Every structure is written in C-alpha cells, then in structure tokens.
Homo-oligomer: A and B are copies of this chain.
Amino acid sequence: MSRDGRRIEMRHGAGGPAMRELVGSLFARGAPMGIEGGVGLGALDDGAALRLGERWLVFTTDGHVIDPPFFPGGDIGRLAVCGAVNDLAVMGATDVLGLSLAVVVEEGYAHADLERIQASIEAACREADTRVLTGDTKVMRRGEIDGVVLTTSAIGLVREGGDPVRDAGLRPEDEILVTGTIGDHGMAVMTRRHDLSVGAGDGELLSDVAPLNGLIAAALAAGGPAVVAMKDPTRGGVASALHEMAQKSGVGVVLEEERLPVRPAVRAACELLGIDPLQVANEGKALLGVRPEASDAVLAALHAHPLGKHARRIGRCTATRVGSLILDTGFGRRLVTESEGELLPRIC
C-alpha cells in the first residue's frame, strides 16, 4: 500500500501522460502486453484481442461521464455506443457482435431524459449495425452521483484472415491520415457548457460523435495489412493519440499544420479559449498509420464514405525525434506537447 498520501487529480482522467502513468503503475501493473499472440491489458491499446477459433475477438470498455449529457450534435447515449464501437474499429474489429450497457443513475433523474438517451442508443446502434446484448442498472442516492454515467463494453471480430491493428505498428516513412476535421466534439461540448457563443458566420459547433466501423472497414478493405496502426483521438485529442502511437512504435511524427482539417467555427472557439485544436477530443474520427505505397488507395476509400469526405494526409513518421510529435508550420517546426493538466474535464 502506498503511504505517501497521494490523491487522484483531474489530470489522472485526462487521457494524457498522468493517466497513462496511473493506469500503467496501478490498474495494468504486471499485466502482459500480449496474450497468446494477441493484445493484453499491458499493451494499453484501445482494447484486448484474443484468438477464438479462426478469428480474432476484440473486447473493449469505456465509461462515459460527459457533462452536459445532452450537447450539440449528440448525447451521452450516442457517445456510449460510438465510444465502444470506435474502440473496436480502430483495433480492426469492424464486425461488431454487440454491446453491454451498464447504467448508474441518480435518484430523482427524469425518466424523460432516460427515454431520450435510450432513443439515442437505439439510433446509434442502427447506424453501427449492432445492438445492446446485456445490461445492468444501478441507482445512487441524490447527490451521490451527478446525473447519469453509462459504461459500455463491446465485442467484435476482425475480418476473416485479418489481424488486429495495433496502435504501435508505425515505421519511418509511414503516412498519418485523419478521417476528417478535428476538435469538433470537444469544442461543441465546451462552448455549450460555458454558454459561449461563437460567431454565427463560422457555422454551428456540433459534436462529430459517430460510429466508425463502416468507414474503417472500407479503409481496411482498400489497404489491408498496409494499414499498420490506428487510434481514435478522444481525450487529449490528436496530440495525445499521436504521442502514444509514436512512443509505442519508436518513431517521430511530423504533422503539416496547413493540412490539418479544422472547421472555422472550431478554430474560432479554440482561439477564443486559447486551446490548441490538436488537444481537443474527437468522437467520430480516427488516425490511421499507413504504408506510403497504400496511402492513396486508403485515402480514396475514406473519401468515398460519408464519414470520410474530409479525410486528409496530415503527416509522416520519421526515424528521428523518436516519441515526439512535431508540427511543421510552413515557417518552421515546433514540438507539440500533450496537455499535462485537464483542459476539458468530463468531455466524454
């Protein structure tokens, strides 16, 4: 038992280095990286992968504590479905067998709000061509929990003959693709929470929360084993996701700033709040690391899917600056850091 009086801080849930340190030293301590050739807890990937007969089964879980639970472009129900589906998808398990849903709700919560959340869960499941298979409901007394927390787990299969896609498979010269604009989810929630209004001429701020299994299946069909790494840039944004991929893979990553797809409304809100869009959470985007010879084909497949129209090639892996993320601004290069603190608590 530790004797040093340490306490949990908000940064331990922020998706960055403090969280990875906590998880690695506590919940995943001693856990194997791999299990019988698969992916174990120790790998700290988006899920675990187990061989089951002829196929790979992927298993993942996510707690959802978003505040507010209803936000522009979605709600906690849609988020809980998409969060689980997307964690499977970025491991290559686009054939989603189903989800579990554990609800913890505060005494006095409005039944009508649960109805809205459930309708949203049902709609998101239809979009992802999946279903909730099993569930659990707990009630806490008034004041013991703020509203509602949803935890979803999901199980899915990697396509026949395919292997799970890790977040650690990058090599120098691999290209980094993003499936669409960045920062939409975080800024939609943030501005709603603080009741900020961003110039209407810049368009509405809407979360991008969406299930990516169809889009990722299309990318894998086009790229096959040349899609060597994937991750969904949720908490901590593109910056945390690429740091983790670069560190685990043993490469550097150089991003070209002018190629980063950021909606004008998101850029305006980020400037207003002094936040880097690279550090903002996304809930309907994926980062793909692709061998250079396959990147045109993968990008074409992404563009052909409704959720991938704004996909871009945004960077490239290097043999130097291992574990670092570098932004090429066109005028020079600077290191992109992860946010150490908690910019946006309860963003997902």
Given A134-B47, A149-B104, do A111 and B13 touch, yes or no (CB 8 Å)?
A: no
The reply on A258 being an interface residue by CB < 8 A is no
The reply on A52 being an interface residue by CB < 8 A is yes
Contacts of A64 in B (CB 8 A): 138
The reply on A100 being an interface residue by CB < 8 A is yes
Given A40-B133, A151-B151, do A141 and B10 touch, yes or no (CB 8 Å)?
A: yes
- A contact patch SS: mixed
- Give residues 24-39 of A contacting B (CB, 8 Å): 26-31, 35
- Give residues 253-292 of A contacting B (CB, 8 Å): none
User: Are A65 and B138 touching (Cβ within 8 A)?
Assistant: yes
Q: Which of B14, B59, B102 contacts A133 (CB 8 A)?
A: B59
> Could you tell me the distance between the alpha carbons of A327 and B112 in the complex, rounded to whole angstroms?
39
User: Are A114 and B50 touching (Cβ within 8 A)?
Assistant: no
The reply on A41 being an interface residue by CB < 8 A is yes
User: Are B13 and A133 touching (Cβ within 8 A)?
Assistant: no
Rounded to whole Å, the gap between the CB of A145 and the closest CB of chain B is: 5
Rounded to whole Å, the gap between the CB of A189 and the closest CB of chain B is: 15
User: Are B102 and A10 touching (Cβ within 8 A)?
Assistant: no
> Could you tell me the distance between the alpha carbons of A111 and B1 in the complex, rounded to whole angstroms?
9
The reply on A297 being an interface residue by CB < 8 A is no
The reply on A200 being an interface residue by CB < 8 A is no
Q: Which of B109, B140, B146 contacts A140 (CB 8 A)?
A: B146
User: Are A7 and B109 touching (Cβ within 8 A)?
Assistant: yes
User: Are B134 and A59 touching (Cβ within 8 A)?
Assistant: yes
Contacts of A111 in B (CB 8 A): 2, 4-8, 26
Contacts of A107 in B (CB 8 A): 7-10
Given A12-B139, A112-B2, A145-B146, do A134 and B27 touch, yes or no (CB 8 Å)?
A: no
- Give residues 213-231 of A contacting B (CB, 8 Å): none
Contact with B along A333-348 (1 / 0, CB 8 A): 0000000001001100
Contacts of A104 in B (CB 8 A): 63, 65, 104, 149, 151
Rounded to whole Å, the gap between the CB of A130 and the closest CB of chain B is: 12
The reply on A295 being an interface residue by CB < 8 A is no
> Could you tell me the distance between the alpha carbons of A5 and B111 in the complex, rounded to whole angstroms?
7
The reply on A203 being an interface residue by CB < 8 A is no
The reply on A115 being an interface residue by CB < 8 A is yes
User: Are B133 and A63 touching (Cβ within 8 A)?
Assistant: no
User: Are A100 and B137 touching (Cβ within 8 A)?
Assistant: no
Please provide the 3 A-B residue pairs with the shortest distance between their CB atoms, ordered closest to farther. A13-B139, A61-B100, A153-B153
- Pull 17 A–B residue pairs with CB atoms less than 8 Å apart, ordered by A: A1-B116, A4-B111, A8-B105, A8-B106, A8-B111, A27-B103, A27-B132, A41-B132, A48-B100, A59-B98, A61-B100, A63-B102, A63-B104, A100-B153, A102-B151, A138-B346, A144-B346
